[in-house]
Structure 1
Amino acid sequence: MTVDNLLAQIPSGARGLPPVHSWNPAFCGDIDMRIARDGTWYYLGTPIGRKPMVRLFSTIMRREGDDYFLVTPVEKVGIRVDDAPFVAVTLQVRGEGAGQSLVFMTNVEDTVEAGPEHPLRVELDPNTDEPSPYVHVRSELDALIHRNVFYQLVELAVTREVEGQPWLGVWSGGVFFPIAPDPEG
């Protein structure tokens, strides 16, 4: 399986995302494609420098459990993802307070508004307590929120009680998303 073969199988002309959730082709094995934690895509150990190609591959990605695949109507190949398949690289803030909306753009130009369908979450590294913030993009696929964008979220944080404890967090889409316990609470 080569990248050229995979590209040739992607239906063209349709608007929006392909219906990868409805495609159930045979598994054809893994290919040497990796998405690094910083969002860089690699094929055979070399970065893929063509943004339109990366964007195209990102539209045919599917996650099943802990495994990631590129799926076409006739083939499914496994790829490696170091952390999350996308990186949220910009943040646009609309409104304020409980009516605020946080709109993220990913490195592959997906735009997503945090809310009930696209929750934010923060995981802590058990060894270092370093936070890793994520926003849900689509169909089991998340974006790691870039450090600079996370700093913007921290600047927007307000204190709210969650299960009897004060938490710093942000509002978006009518939902309060806790970021961290409030150290002053």
Structure 2
Amino acid sequence: MNLKGLSDVKTSALPPVHTWTPPFCGDMDLIIKANGDWIHEGGKIKRPAMVNMFSRILWREEDEYFLVTPVEKVRIQVEDAPFLVTGWQWIETDKGKAIEFSTHTNDVLVLGIDCDLWMAMFEDEERPYISMRYGMKALLGRNVFYGIADCIGQVKTPEGMGMGLISAGKSYLLMKDE
């Protein structure tokens, strides 16, 4: 993959991949596993900085994922969610108490402001996800989900009543009442 043009992008900022329209250049032997591991040509990418850099140029179109630079676009495979939430904490916002999530790629999102939360099936298991940039999603790691489980209470949403979370004044239904 040609990473030309990325040197002009600040490392803390997300590159403007939504403005790039490079030609499709084929498939890359890269798969993001359901557990969050990035596997290139059969081996796990062990350098977090490399995974972080690739995560910044990740793009989703329909149900396919691509790494995009200003000059090329290559398709990769994603088993489930390309991001994994590895940490969380309560913070104060102008919309009230909120949950701040952090991913294994150093993304930080605030539930109810930057992202939403829902439950969905993956294979034969119901799993918790949050929304990410460009229509992508992040899986909440088991430790994170168990951590926020202590904060679950009764909520009312357009989907119904049940057990869920309130973050930044917004309610999220996780288990609907029968």
TM-score by structure 2 length? 0.90
CA–CA distance in structure 2, aligned partners of residues 45 and 164 of structure 1: 42
Cα shift at 1:43: 0.6
Question: Which of 46, 60, 65 lines up with 2:62 in the alignment?
Answer: 65
Contact 1:159 1:182 (C-alpha < 8 Å) held by counterparts: no
Question: Which of 6, 9, 17 lines up with 1:10 in the alignment?
Answer: 6
1:54 is aligned to 2:41: no
| Amino acid in the other structure paired with 1:83 | D
Change (3 A) 1:137 1:30: same
1:36 is matched with 33
Change (3 A) 1:137 1:12: same
| Amino acid in the other structure paired with 1:29 | G
Change (3 A) 1:21 1:165: closer
1:120 is matched with 117
SS state of the match for residue 161, structure 1? Answer: strand
CA–CA distance in structure 1, aligned partners of residues 91 and 60 of structure 2: 31
Contact 2:159 2:173 (C-alpha < 8 Å) held by counterparts: no
Change (3 A) 1:162 1:6: same
Deviation string for 1:90-112 (max 9, x for gaps)? 111125xx832010000111111
Contact 2:155 2:165 (C-alpha < 8 Å) held by counterparts: no
The residue correspondences of 1:21-170 to structure 2 (distance < 5 A) are 21-94=18-91, 99-124=96-121, 128=124, 130-163=125-158, 165-170=160-165
Contact 2:26 2:74 (C-alpha < 8 Å) held by counterparts: yes
Change (3 A) 1:10 1:177: same
SS state of the match for residue 52, structure 1? Answer: helix
Cα shift at 1:140: 1.0
Cα shift at 1:161: 3.0
Question: Which of 165, 172, 175 lines up with 2:170 in the alignment?
Answer: 175
Cα shift at 1:58: 0.4
Deviation string for 1:85-142 (max 9, x for gaps)? 10001111125xx8320100001111110115411111135x74x3211111211121
RMSD of aligned residue pairs (Cα, Å): 2.0
SS state of the match for residue 2, structure 2? Answer: helix
SS state of the match for residue 152, structure 1? Answer: helix
| Amino acid in the other structure paired with 1:10 | L
- Range moving further from structure 2, 69-78 or 99-108: 99-108
CA–CA distance in structure 1, aligned partners of residues 156 and 16 of structure 2: 40
* Structure 2: unaligned runs, 5 residues or longer: none
CA–CA distance in structure 1, aligned partners of residues 169 and 138 of structure 2: 21
